[in-house]
């Protein structure tokens, strides 16, 4: 059944510091992973993706690391800015499930000025 009033994991960082947001995914057959950012009152926005044949992928100020051995995904944000404050979701795609994504619970990032 559903749980009411669950609190999101939160991460609080100082402006300018690096942030690391972690995600444990559920299925070893997942072959594609994606990170989204959701600001208050908006829909999720794409940040970066990675396929299972890679361990690391870099974007502008962001890096995604994939450890398939322990089914772990992380998002690193360099020089975190106040505009990075949001909820961050990881999502996985199962190789036999077409375009469906399975989303994690999300982590709330708060950046202190």
Partner 1 sequence: DVKVTQSSRYLVKRTGEKVFLECVQDMDHENMFWYRQDPGLGLRLIYFSYDVKMKEKGDIPEGYSVSREKKERFSLILESASTNQTSMYLCASSLTASGGPGEQYFGPGTRLTVT
Binding site for partner 1 (CB under 8 A): 2-3, 5-8, 31-32, 34, 36, 41-46, 49, 89, 91, 93, 98-101, 103-106
Residues 6+ positions from 25 with CB-CB distance below 8 Å = 33, 71, 72, 73, 90, 92, 102, 104
Which residue, 14 or 28, has its beta carbon nearer to partner 1? 28
* Minimum CB distance to partner 1, residue 67 (Å): 19
Which residue, 28 or 45, has its beta carbon nearer to partner 1? 45
């Amino acid at each position: 059944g559903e749980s009411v009033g669950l609190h999101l994991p939160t991460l609080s960082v100082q402006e300018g510091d690096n942030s690391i947001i972690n995600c444990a995914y559920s299925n070893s057959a997942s072959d594609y992973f994606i990170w989204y950012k959701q600001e208050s009152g908006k829909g999720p926005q794409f940040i970066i993706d990675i396929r299972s044949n890679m361990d690391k992928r870099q974007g502008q100020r962001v890096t995604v690391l994939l450890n398939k051995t322990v089914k772990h995904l992380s998002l690193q944000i360099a020089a975190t800015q106040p505009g990075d404050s949001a909820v961050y979701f990881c999502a996985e795609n199962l190789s036999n499930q077409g375009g469906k994504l399975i989303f994690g619970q999300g982590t709330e990032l708060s950046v202190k000025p």
